[in-house]
Chain A
């Protein structure tokens, strides 16, 4: 069983633990993603943004109108991804990939939380659960 946790939630509960009234300054949360839903998107990598606190995949996905939407896929931290085997060069612009993700609750924004994926070589991306879609 994969455990649903991330630094954002650590930060949030950490404040509660301290019983303080620290003002809200910023948030690194996965609360904006609908954890009850999974969607699969196929597209072309525009950017792979290896940065703290979380890594992002910017993915160009064809839409029903014949154009393209740019999706923002949020991953975990570079430190965690590196321990799984990811590197800043794991994905490159132009790569054709398939991703499974928890979509944003706000459907007007194209984006989601990374769960698993198939890389440009047809192989599961590192750190993916055994089969795509079987993430948390």
Chain B
């Protein structure tokens, strides 16, 4: 009898804990696999499959920038066009860097990289091929207390489940390459053309996302950005992700690798990497299924 009561108490406690986490583990959606921004399917040349216009339409792009922020954007774009003209001439405009940190919200909006979504009862992790991870805590905790909070390129995220929709709340985001007091930037696709659609945010920007699976092949993220210092109204946009073809496991980017394009006398040059020893040729598991083998 005592044992039965004890078991009952344990079961009740477990139920309470699961309820606090927002959903039972069996109710959580399966978003496994690799995902990419619709429009960011690459080809072998470095190009992608949609135009900027298509991406802007998909995102419902309409940044409500205030006048001061719009003026900053205009100045940045004018400066950037001059830099791009130099690049087009094969010249080094200076200011390049080695890192491959995209940061939030670019990871969700303008990255050409793929990602995985690891859903657990207490946390959902979004894992990107740039090796950046967004930790979305869904265990009921609040944001990091003010005295412990500091801005990072990925921000401070908490979330909860509303049925099969993950509601994410993110604050304290800074540009990965900006000065310490800079906020984040938002662009339509993070590329040369997309940069020309940039929106500038402060570190006080507040991001609310609603992510859900709209069909077995697509995830959707509806994002609202609240930043009264730079925006005249909350900024709503939408991004859709599709399953990545051809692969069934993560392949990592590494922009911090060797400098393959050293600048000599102000001009870019080309230095191929040294040859590698084929790792599969003598490895004991070389007969294992190829990386492309689909999961069973």
| A residues with CB within 8 A of B | 1-32, 34-35, 47, 49-54, 56, 58, 72, 74-89, 104-106, 109, 111, 113-116, 125-129, 135-136
Whole-angstrom distance between the alpha carbons of A78 and B252 in the complex? 8
Q: Which residue of B lies closest to A7 (CB)?
A: B255
Whole-angstrom distance between the alpha carbons of A34 and B90 in the complex? 8
The 7 closest A-B pairs by CB, nearest first: A127-B44, A2-B47, A5-B191, A52-B254, A26-B259, A32-B268, A18-B178
Query: Which residues of B (52-110) have their CB < 8 Å from a CB of A?
Result: 52, 76, 79-80, 83-84, 87-88, 90-100
Whole-angstrom distance between the alpha carbons of A125 and B44 in the complex? 9
Q: A4: shortest Cβ distance to chain B, in Å? A: 7
- A56 and B96 contact, Cβ closer than 8 Å, known pairs A5-B193, A13-B192, A82-B247: no
Q: Which residue of B lies closest to A128 (CB)?
A: B44
**Chain B interface main SS type:** loop
Q: A113: shortest Cβ distance to chain B, in Å? A: 8
Q: Which residues of A contact B99 (CB under 8 A)?
A: 11
- 18 CB contacts below 8 A, A to B, read A3-B191, A5-B47, A5-B112, A5-B193, A12-B95, A13-B80, A15-B97, A17-B187, A19-B76, A26-B258, A27-B262, A32-B270, A51-B276, A72-B272, A83-B245, A87-B290, A105-B90, A116-B44
Whole-angstrom distance between the alpha carbons of A85 and B244 in the complex? 11
Q: B122: shortest Cβ distance to chain A, in Å? A: 29
Pairwise interchain contact A80-B87, C-beta atoms closer than 8 A: no
Q: Which residues of B contact A12 (CB under 8 A)?
A: 83, 87, 93, 95-96
Pairwise interchain contact B272-A15, C-beta atoms closer than 8 A: no
Q: A76: shortest Cβ distance to chain B, in Å? A: 4
Q: A23: shortest Cβ distance to chain B, in Å? A: 8
Q: Which residues of B contact A83 (CB under 8 A)?
A: 36, 41-42, 114, 244-247, 251
Pairwise interchain contact A35-B260, C-beta atoms closer than 8 A: no
Q: Which of A13, A51, A111, A135 sits near B47, CB closer than 8 Å?
A: A135
**Chain A interface main SS type:** loop
Q: A31: shortest Cβ distance to chain B, in Å? A: 4
Q: A24: shortest Cβ distance to chain B, in Å? A: 5
Whether B163 sits at the interface, judged by CB under 8 Å, is no
Q: A83: shortest Cβ distance to chain B, in Å? A: 5
Whole-angstrom distance between the alpha carbons of A77 and B84 in the complex? 21
Q: Which residue of A lies closest to B279 (CB)?
A: A88
Whether B179 sits at the interface, judged by CB under 8 Å, is yes
Pairwise interchain contact A79-B129, C-beta atoms closer than 8 A: yes
